[in-house]
């Protein structure tokens, strides 16, 4: 359970607004789009983020967010005592409004316990007392990001244009990271690959990633493999096929700098793909059981590749299709 908020500093006052995120890294990144809508509607009001770790490490890169509170209650547990302690600390911020993205009772508890007077959320799970500014029309949203951002609508009838999530890296901080990690700016264009995903059915075969890495390395690109400890074995498998740099054992904030250093990105439907999109990196995402139009990033820099019609099996996506998609994305950037 997190303690004091982390971020760019605090300022009290009931004008502050909270966004209560949910889910994995990609789900939390969707909330950065909601933060843009809230900042547009309430200019000058500080916006904080309630999230799970390690997503709090992304908040310093989100221009529309001030700070983060962390709720790491294990899945399947209510953690009421911890939630009460966290809510007590959050009362000091005197939030005037909260947007509760998840439809569960558990997600709405901390904002209620923190005494936030306006609690906006979707109708669901009998939350009449916990959510007092109910929104409807959730099923009308074409995709998951639109669903999250639609919470900012005053009602379910007004026209709504979804703002894609955005993240930004300070150029001086990026140069400092490159100096410490690389000895300076990259000497060649960087192709970043994130071979991991939430589960196996969302993962393109690692040998196909290796084949793409080998192609780009032969063209003189630096190829970086991004991810966490779970992707370490995949990075080793790719290193046996092509000269790659393994960045799978670095913290999440370092992954932001790695992505910001890249000229091109390839990944499955994953949190890393959403981060790349929010950073404006030209990207290709691989979709099988999921679809770019529904679960993928809304950033225009992201293109998607799917298996042949009638299939959701990522292994049926040929390497040639991915290379063609990457070439198309590169040409658009020229």
* Residue 309 DSSP SS3: coil
Q: In which band, very low, low, confident or very high, does the pLDDT at 157 lie, cut at 50, 70 and 90? A: low
- What's the CA dihedral at 233, 181, 167, 89 to 10 degrees? 90
Q: How far apart are CA 265 and CA 259, in angstroms?
A: 8
What is the model's pLDDT at position 12? 40
Residue 22 tokens read as 């949910």
Kindly state the percentage of the chain with pLDDT values over 90.
Answer: 81
What is the model's pLDDT at position 159? 60
- The string of DSSP codes covering 68-136 is EEE--PPTT---HHHHHHHHHHHGGG--SEEEE-S-SHHHHHHHHHTT-SEEEEES-TT-TTT-SEEE-
* In contact, 63 and 5? CB cutoff 8 Å: no
**What number is the average pLDDT over the span 174-199?**
96
Q: In which band, very low, low, confident or very high, does the pLDDT at 158 lie, cut at 50, 70 and 90? A: low
How many other C-beta atoms lie within 10 A of the C-beta of residue 63?
A: 13
Q: How far apart are CA 210 and CA 216, in angstroms?
A: 10
pLDDT digits (tens, 9 = 90+) for 49-76: 999 999 999 999 999 999 999 999 887 7
Q: How far apart are CA 98 and CA 120, in angstroms?
A: 6
**What number is the average pLDDT over the span 147-156?**
84
pLDDT digits (tens, 9 = 90+) for 78-124: 889 999 999 999 999 999 999 999 988 889 999 999 999 999 999 87
Judged against a pLDDT cut of 70, whether residue 156 lies above it is answered with: no
**What number is the average pLDDT over the span 231-248?**
97
Q: Burial letters for 94-104: b for 16+ Cβ neighbours within 10 Å, e otherwise?
A: ebbbbbbbbbe
Q: How far apart are CA 18 and CA 97, in angstroms?
A: 6
Nearest-5° angle of CA 6, CA 9, CA 14?
100
pTM, rounded to two decimals: 0.93
| Helix (H), strand (E) counts: the chain | 10, 13
Compute CA 229 distance to the chain's CA centroid, rounded to the nearest angstrom: 18
Domains and CATH numbers, the chain: 6-152 (3.40.50.2000), 171-333 (3.40.50.2000)
Judged against a pLDDT cut of 50, whether residue 10 lies above it is answered with: no
DSSP 165: P
Nearest-5° angle of CA 150, CA 269, CA 2?
65
**What number is the average pLDDT over the span 222-231?**
96
**What number is the average pLDDT over the span 171-187?**
97
pLDDT digits (tens, 9 = 90+) for 256-287: 999 999 999 999 999 999 999 999 999 999 99
Judged against a pLDDT cut of 80, whether residue 249 lies above it is answered with: yes
What is the model's pLDDT at position 322? 98
317 to each of 263, 303, 308, 313, 324, how far by Cα in Å? 23, 15, 7, 8, 12
Q: How far apart are CA 125 and CA 334, in angstroms?
A: 49
* In contact, 167 and 279? CB cutoff 8 Å: yes
**What number is the average pLDDT over the span 194-221?**
96
Judged against a pLDDT cut of 80, whether residue 4 lies above it is answered with: no
* Beta bridge pairs of residue 246: 225
135 to each of 48, 99, 146, how far by Cα in Å? 21, 10, 14
What is the model's pLDDT at position 3? 46
pLDDT digits (tens, 9 = 90+) for 21-31: 999 999 999 99
Q: In which band, very low, low, confident or very high, does the pLDDT at 7 lie, cut at 50, 70 and 90? A: low
Instruction: Look over the chain and give the mean of its residue pLDDT values, rounded to a whole number.
Output: 92
């Amino acid at each position: 359970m997190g303690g004091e908020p982390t971020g760019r500093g605090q300022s009290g006052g009931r004008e502050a607004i909270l966004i209560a995120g949910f889910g994995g890294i990609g789900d939390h990144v969707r909330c950065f789009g909601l933060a843009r809508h809230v900042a547009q509607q309430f200019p000058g009001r500080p916006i904080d983020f309630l999230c799970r770790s390690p997503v709090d490490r992304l908040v310093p890169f989100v221009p529309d967010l001030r700070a983060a509170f962390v709720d790491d209650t294990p899945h399947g547990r209510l953690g009421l005592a911890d939630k009460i302690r966290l809510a007590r600390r959050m009362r000091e911020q005197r939030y005037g409004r909260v947007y509760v993205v998840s439809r569960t009772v558990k997600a709405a508890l901390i904002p209620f316990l923190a005494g936030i007077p306006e609690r906006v959320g979707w109708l669901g799970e009998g939350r009449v007392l916990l959510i007092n500014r109910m929104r409807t029309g959730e099923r009308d949203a074409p995709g998951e990001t639109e669903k999250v951002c639609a919470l900012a609508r005053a009602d379910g009838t007004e026209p709504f244009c979804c703002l894609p999530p955005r993240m930004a890296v300070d150029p001086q901080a990026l140069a400092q990271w490159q100096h410490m990690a690389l000895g300076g700016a990259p000497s060649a264009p960087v192709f970043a690959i994130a071979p991991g995903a939430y589960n196996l059915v969302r993962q393109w075969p690692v040998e196909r990633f290796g084949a793409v890495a080998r192609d780009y390395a032969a063209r003189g690109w630096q190829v970086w493999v991004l991810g966490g400890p779970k992707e370490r074995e995949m990075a080793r498998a790719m290193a046996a096929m092509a000269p790659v740099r393994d960045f799978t054992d670095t913290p999440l904030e370092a992954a932001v700098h790695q992505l910001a250093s890249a000229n091109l990105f390839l990944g499955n439907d994953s949190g890393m793909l959403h981060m790349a999109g929010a950073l404006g990196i030209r990207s290709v995402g691989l979709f099988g059981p999921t679809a770019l139009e529904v679960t993928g990033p809304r950033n225009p820099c992201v293109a998607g590749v799917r298996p042949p019609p009638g299939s959701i099996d990522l292994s049926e996506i040929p390497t040639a299709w991915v290379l063609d998609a990457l070439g198309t994305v590169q040409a658009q950037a020229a």
